[in-house]
Structure formats: C-alpha cells, structure tokens
Amino acid sequence: MLKGLFRFFSSVKLAVFSLLLLSAVLAYATMMGSFYGMRGSQVAVYQRWWFGGVLFLLGLNVFCAAMSRYPWKLRQAGFVLTHLGIIIILVGAFVTQKYGIDGNLQVSEMQQNREVMLNDLKLTIVKQATDSEESTKKQEIIIPESHVPREGKIVEIVFKDKSEKSAGTLVVEKFIPRAVPENQMIMSPTKGLGTPALKIALSNNRFRIQEWLKADPQEKKAELNLGPAIVTFQKLWTPEDEKNFWSQKPKKPEAAKVADKGTLLVDVAGQRFALKVSDLINQWRPLEKSGFEIRVDRYLPYAVVENNKLISRSADPRNPATEVSVRKGKDSNQTERFILFALMPEHNTQYKRKDESKPRFEVALSLMPPQQEQELMGVGRSRGRLYLAQNSSDSELFYRSFGASGDLNSEGKIAPGKKVPTGWMNIELEVKEWLPFSVQKEEPRSVEKLQGADEPFLTAIKVKVDSYPSVWLLEGMGKMFSVGGKDVVVQYHRDSLMLPFDIYLDKFTMGTNPGTQQAASFTSNVTVKDPNQDEQKKAVISMNEPLKYGGYYFYQASYQLTPGEPAVSVLAVNFDPGRVLKYLGSLIMTLGISLMFYLNPHYLKVFLGGQKETA
C-alpha cells in the first residue's frame, strides 16, 4: 500500500494536475485582485489554508518524484538539483507566509516614526478599573477578515464579573472590507422630534440632479444651489407663516458679484500651496522654502480664442483662465510661463523657453474656480427660484416656482413620487423622499467592487453590546459602553509593530510631468536613528530604490499633500525571512535546468571521454 501511495505522489499525472490546479488558483487570485484589490486577493486566496495545501501537494509531488530516482546517477544531477530548488523555493514561501511582515509607515516631514501599521485587524477591549480593582484589564481579539461583506455572529465576547458569571456580551454582527463613511437621513423614532428633510430631483431629457434638503430650525431656511435653480426649504410653524409663504416673491435678478477670481494650486518640492488669484495679479509672491516665486500676468474670466489670440469675451466667469509666470528666485532669465484653464484643465499649456538646454522646473500648477463660478458654468446667472415648505401641521408640502425674471411659473401642493413642472428648461420637480422629522445616522456604505485603481479603503464592523443599539466602528474608532456597572472602551484598529529604530523624514519631493499635476516620481530623504548605533544613517528612498536596514525593506509607496501642512510620506515596510531561501532555491533550480540541458547523453559521452557511465 505504501509503495502504491509513493508511486501515486511521484507520478507525472499528479505533477500535471498540481501544476494545472496551481495555475487555476493563481488565475482566480488575479481575478480577485482586479475585483477587490491586492488586499482582497490576499484574503481570498493567498492567506487561506487551502492555498498552503496546494503548495504542499506540489512540494510533496516534487519530493517523491526526486526520491523515485534514488540512488541518483551523474546524468541525473540536473534533475535532482531542479527538484531541490523547487522544494527550497516552496519552503521559503512557507517561511515568508508564516513569519513575514508587511505594513505601512507614515512619517511627516521633519518628524520621526517607528510604528508600522500591519494588515491584521484587532478589537481591543479595555475594562476600566473600579475602586475594588487595582488596574484596568485589556483584551485583544483578532477580527477575521474577508474580501466580501459578512453578516452573522462573527465574534462573540462574554464579559464576566468577579464571580465569573456573565455580565454582558459583545457581538460583531457585520464586517465590511471596503467602507465609505456616509451620513444617512432616517425618520426620527420619536414623533415631533427631529428636523424636516427632503430628497428632491430636478430633471429633464438631458440631465438629472438629486439632493437632500434639511430645514435646520436655527437657520430657519435651507438653501441649495443646483445650477439651473436656487432651491430653498423651510418649516412653517404657524398659519401666518403659511400666508407669508404664498405671498412671497423673489427679488429681481441682479448682476452677481464674484468675490474672488479662483484659487491657484501649486505643487513644488513636496509642498502644496493654495493661493488666491486676486492676490497674485501683477505681483510676485515667494513660495516658502522652495526658492520659487509666482505671479499672475493675466486673468481672463471668459477665455476664448479669436484670431489665434486668447482673449476674454466678457467679465462673466464662464471659462476662467490665467496666464502665470514662475521664476527661480529673482532671476528673470529663469522664468517659465503657463496658461491654466479652470474648467478645462486638459488644455493647460506651458510655453516654450528661450533656452531649452536647461531642465524645466518641477512645478505643477492648476486653477480652481471659486464655488460661485462653478455653479454658474453652463447656466449663467439667469436662474429660477424654487421655494419648498412643510406646513405648520407637518402633514403637507408646498412649492412655488419662479422664473429668472421673477415671474411665478407654478405653485401648489406636492406629494412624494409626483412630478410637477417648474416652468424653466422643461425641468420637472419630484420629491423622492420626505421625512417630516428626521435624524442623521452614520452608516458606512459598502463598495462591492473596485472600479479603477486599487484604492486604500477602510474596513468597518457593526458591534452590539448588551441592550445598546448596534453601532458602526470604522478603523481607528472607539466607543465606551457601561457593562455590569463598569466602563468598557471598545477600539477597532489594525495591529501595529514598533521598529527597534526611528525613521526621520528630512524632506519629501514629488516630481511631476512638466506643466501638469501628474506625479512622475516620489523621493523621501530619510535618516535612520538607531539607539544601538553611534552613527545615524542617511538614505534616499524612491519608487525603485528601497532602503535596506535591520532586515527590513522600506519602499516608497504613497504620499499625502495637504495645503498648509507638512508633506507625509507613506513607506511600505517588508520583512521577509524567507527571501534568502527563495533566492537560493531559484539559483539551484536554474543550475539544475542548465545541467539537464548540458548533461544529456551526447554531451555526457563527450565529457566522459567515450567511456560508459557506471552506477
């Protein structure tokens, strides 16, 4: 029987099956990665026990196949070495999966950090000490991760009192692997308490807009600018308020005043500056710590091209554009000029310089229009007015629609699901949802599949403690409960690892493609501060040049740029104890393949001088 099992595990049929099975699993993992991101493929495939089983089956087949030729002959050296190399690679992969470390280290410019955030999710429960207890009690529970949302009793924790009897329970009811925080409007559980809220839709055959309106009692009236119309919603408290609502008329339209001319975003030397265009017109302004100065030469509210020249057709900000100059210090010979469009950034242009032998500035510019200008785009300033109101008895909704000229188009009562004409641009008004008394509820929205690049989403869990209502916790959040007369703090977070040394970020630099904000390169100048070493090590980490120190590899992964704040560099940290085994196995396997090619019967006969090989 043992000989039969050995023949089965050393057979070519099992080898073919193992390789086909591994290929199918890897194809499945690739598909999971495209749907759920890199972390999703790890959770769905690479960290599952059965994936280890597939690798073990392949390794067992390779080992038995090699042993089936024992005792080996010289001509089988390549065969043996190739199989040995594969086994060593599989052992290295097992060591990596078992003892390897992958995480992220975030460090701000001119600061240091040694805490690496890992992938494992944890729920930390801290029981506060009472007068009869000497210290607090801390408990950590691993939250099982999945690539798709899960529901049910994922984790259950029983709190016990001094007599070891149950004092309460905590249950993780739901897990979301990719969560987007959202505030939802729901009906208030108590009638009469809450804020009136409406979800409305404005639509015609070309567009559709949906928005929520909440009549805050303190502000008296909610106002929302939806482009073709300004919509207001209010609560009417008395019959007198209702009478005033039906008699009110909008003011005649006036020329809108543009408070400013937009904002210029400048990315240079790892910093982002947000500058008002109106403060830069015809005057140079230095960009702190970068050595550059910037000036707006021309502002064109309504930029158009006529007779091959860029001009402004009017003062109406329909298509804002600017001509901008950037220079190095006060040297006018090192000046670059740009044309920036707020609403069509794809047409941003950088002028050619007189001396193209010098490298271009690593500066990225973009023009952001003020909110008012964005709202006017496409509809101008001639917009209608739409008044909505909830009556004093909270039983009906009223509406009044006025044209841009201030004339009444339509009015009356409106109910959810009913469409009424507004009288302008063939637009109809529909109340999608009406909550006479609403409250806000924070509940994360689950992202089922990725639509593009692998974005870093947060995870979320739904937790229920005793008789308390279920609450959602996003990564990094915590909440306090009272269980059995004791305060219990529940924190949801990723596990972390403290490095034996600090990484200090001296400077972060982001290189961009000329004339655009598209990142071309990231570079972090860091200093390793190791208390066990007398000298500090300085290094440069870029996308293809990691830092190697203390067995750890640090890769440039991402960055965070916020106006007015230091740049943040995100480093991917990797510790792979199986790396040497995988490199060694690859070398041995390559040597074995080479020997199998050269130690064939023909070459072997030449090598032995025409003598026959002996066992």
pLDDT in tens, 570-594: 999 999 999 999 999 999 999 999 8
Instruction: Measure the CA–CA gap between 44 and 27, rounded to whole angstroms.
Output: 12
> Which pLDDT belongs to residue 317?
80
Residue 4 in this model has a pLDDT that exceeds 50: yes
Question: Which pLDDT tens digit goes with each residue over 518-555?
Answer: 667 889 999 999 998 888 899 999 988 999 999 999 99
Per mean pLDDT, which of 375-389, 478-492, 510-524 is the most reliable? 478-492
Instruction: Measure the CA–CA gap between 332 and 326, rounded to whole angstroms.
Output: 9
Whether the CB-CB separation of 411 and 390 falls below 8 Å is answered with no
Whether the CB-CB separation of 256 and 290 falls below 8 Å is answered with no
Question: Which pLDDT tens digit goes with each residue over 49-58?
Answer: 999 999 999 9
User: Six-digit token pair at 236?
Assistant: 């009417």
Instruction: Measure the CA–CA gap between 528 and 518, rounded to whole angstroms.
Output: 30
> Which pLDDT belongs to residue 376?
37
Instruction: Measure the CA–CA gap between 426 and 46, rounded to whole angstroms.
Output: 55
Question: Which pLDDT tens digit goes with each residue over 407-427?
Answer: 888 999 999 999 998 887 788
> Which pLDDT belongs to residue 379?
39
pLDDT greater at residue 218 or residue 532: 532
- Which positions ≥6 away from 26 have C-beta within 8 Å? none
> Which pLDDT belongs to residue 240?
92
pLDDT greater at residue 431 or residue 228: 431
Whether the CB-CB separation of 581 and 99 falls below 8 Å is answered with no
Q: Which of 332-346, 348-362, 468-482 has the lowest mean pLDDT?
A: 348-362
pLDDT, mean of residues 445-461: 78
Instruction: Measure the CA–CA gap between 560 and 267, rounded to whole angstroms.
Output: 12
pLDDT greater at residue 610 or residue 600: 600
> Which pLDDT belongs to residue 222?
80
Q: Which of 102-116, 432-446, 462-476, 596-610 has the lowest mean pLDDT?
A: 596-610
Q: Hey, what long-range contacts does 561-567 have (CB within 8 A, 24 or more apart)? A: 561/267, 561/270, 561/271, 561/272, 561/510, 562/272, 563/265, 563/272, 563/273, 563/274, 564/274, 566/108, 566/109, 566/110, 566/111, 567/108, 567/109, 567/270, 567/271, 567/508, 567/510
Whole-number average pLDDT of the chain: 84
pTM over 0.85: no
Torsions phi, psi for 610 (to 5 deg): 80, 0
Residue 293 in this model has a pLDDT that exceeds 80: yes
Residues in the chain: 615
pLDDT band at 615 (very low <50, low <70, confident <90, very high): very low
Residue 132 in this model has a pLDDT that exceeds 90: no
> Which pLDDT belongs to residue 529?
93
For residue 77, the SS3 value is helix
Nearest to 517 by CA among 564, 451, 561: 561
Residue 258 in this model has a pLDDT that exceeds 80: no
Rounded to a whole number of angstroms, the CA Rg of the chain reads 34
Q: Which of 210-219, 459-468, 580-589 has the lowest mean pLDDT?
A: 210-219
User: Six-digit token pair at 345?
Assistant: 């950034």
Instruction: Measure the CA–CA gap between 37 and 501, rounded to whole angstroms.
Output: 31
Q: What percent of the chain has pLDDT over 70?
A: 87
Lookup result for tokens 């309504």: 302
Residue 356 in this model has a pLDDT that exceeds 90: no
Instruction: Measure the CA–CA gap between 497 and 116, rounded to whole angstroms.
Output: 5
> Which pLDDT belongs to residue 610?
53
> Which pLDDT belongs to residue 133?
57
pLDDT, mean of residues 317-331: 84
Instruction: Measure the CA–CA gap between 471 and 237, rounded to whole angstroms.
Output: 34
Residue 453 in this model has a pLDDT that exceeds 60: no
Percentage helix, strand, coil for the chain under 3-state DSSP, each rounded to 5: 20, 45, 35
Residue 486 in this model has a pLDDT that exceeds 70: yes
pLDDT, mean of residues 363-368: 87
Instruction: Measure the CA–CA gap between 36 and 177, rounded to whole angstroms.
Output: 9
> Which pLDDT belongs to residue 381?
45
322: region left, alpha or beta (phi > 0 left; psi from -120 to 50 alpha): beta
> Which pLDDT belongs to residue 516?
60
> Which pLDDT belongs to residue 226?
67
Residue 230 in this model has a pLDDT that exceeds 90: no
For residue 614, the SS3 value is coil
> Which pLDDT belongs to residue 332?
65
pLDDT, mean of residues 305-331: 84
